[in-house]
Amino acid sequence: MNTNKMWGGRFEGGPAKVMEEFTPSIGFDKRLARQDIQGSRVHARMLATQGIISREDLGAILKGLDEVEAEIAEGRFVFKRALEDIHLNIESRLVELAGPAAGRLHTARSRNDQVATDFRLWVRDACTLAEEGLRALQAALVGQAAANADTVMPGYTHMQAAQPISFGHHCLAYVEMFERDRGRFADAKKRLNECPLGAAALAGTSFPIDREVTARALGFTRPMRNSLDAVSARDFALEYLAAAAIAATNLSKLAGELVQWCSPAFGFVRLSDGFTTGSSIMPQKRNPDAAELVRGKSGRVLGDFVALAVVVKGLVLAYGTDLQEDKERVFDAADALEASLAVMAGMVADLQVNAAKMRAAAVAGYPTATDLADWLVRVAKKPFREAHHSAGAIVKRAELLKLDLDKLPLEEMQKIEPAVTTEVYAVLTLEASLASRMSLGGTAPARVREQIAFWKEKLK
């Protein structure tokens, strides 16, 4: 005889032993307990307001739900695998506490719209947590930018030193990047904020429920308009995972730079003891494990997105148990992202910058060659392509003589480009190059400080 009293009336035999291990989701969906209780309270109040259940039943249900919530919070609740999921576990305990009244709670509701509602509430909270984590990381980056607006470092293209930039400017590039990530989570939260509750199994219900009331009580903007879509849609989970995957990818870029910068070959930054580890055999090592793990977890989050996309791509309307696979993917990605953001914010906040090493690296590779070409255009009135060619030839001569551009004798430059005068040396220093980039969004320290002021205000 089937032992599950919640749904077993149609069945004479119980599930196969392998099914008892295969189908339960309580091991992971118990994380939805708070949302499930929240939804049940709102649903019960609406049923009572509509005269579908009595006020006495409502009181018993709410009292029972309070006790269930307390038991879960205090670790006293016994989660039973035989009851499959969080919904039946809570309902079963509610029956023990509230008696027959508890059996009326599921009126005009199915596990299909129940889980869809719970999951939307959970993902909505996850979006908010991601936004908060990103904001904390942005604040840490702005703090480093403020301390290093004048710190010169090499800007790279193709991993070759290209032009001198401010380290503060480099930090602010990530602030912009993570702002777009915040926007994606905000957009995802806005789009998912519609309520499935009341769609029942797939077709709605014959009971006179008020879906507007339940939607508003749960903080949704409105009920979902189509009951089939309400129970089957998981694009909100995919959108969260997509935003998480992009954010994790951006985190990976920053983590990769930190790994590179703290290596002895670069020596640009030093990570604190709190975010590095030692070697089991090499006593001199300071390994950037935290940054490496952040970089590694980006693949995990991307994998979660791909896994759920593969699950849902072939499903027909309305509900299929395939959708049980959605929660583990989202939970895993959310955990990885939340931890990565917290670690990265801490790492960035207390890293130490080696300005001397950065400046020395910025000198190499003739980073002011573009400034030389620009001077020939601006002062000598040369066409840019001609100026570019002359500057390249001057760099080649400096390379041959093993001299920096600002140390190359004037006569050597004039052999290649007679229009060069002593005035050119004013633009060939790193600081002059940096200060000259005054275009909007440029790396000039004055512009960087403008950006810092903007972000400090925005991130309040």
> What DSSP string describes 320-360?
-GGGGHHHHHHHHHHHHHHHHHHHHHHHHHH-EE-HHHHHH
CA–CA distance, 434 with 432 (Å, rounded to integer): 5
- Sign, CA dihedral 392-397-403-408, equals negative
CA–CA distance, 371 with 429 (Å, rounded to integer): 9
Burial of 210 per CB tally in 10 Å (0-12, 13-18, 19+): middle
Token reading at 355? 């300005």
The residues with which 166 forms a beta bridge, in sequence order, are 152
CA–CA distance, 123 with 121 (Å, rounded to integer): 6
Mode of pairing for the β-strands spanning 194-195 and 222-223: parallel
* Residues known to be catalytic: 158, 279
CA 306 → CA 239, 299, 301, 312, 335, distances in Å?
12, 10, 9, 10, 17
User: What proportions of the chain, in percent to the nearest 5, are helix, strand and coil?
Assistant: 65, 5, 30
Q: Are 440 and 449 in contact (CB under 8 A)?
A: no
CA–CA distance, 71 with 91 (Å, rounded to integer): 14
Maximum pairwise Cα distance, the chain: 101
Q: Are 443 and 155 in contact (CB under 8 A)?
A: yes
Contacts for 141 with CB less than 8 Å, ≥ 6 apart: 171, 172, 174, 175, 178, 348
Ramachandran class of 84: left when φ > 0, alpha when ψ lies in -120 to 50, beta otherwise: left
Direct distance between the N- and C-terminal alpha carbons of the chain, in angstroms, rounded to an integer: 61
> What DSSP string describes 267-299?
--EE--GGG-B--SS-TT--B-HHHHHHHHHHH
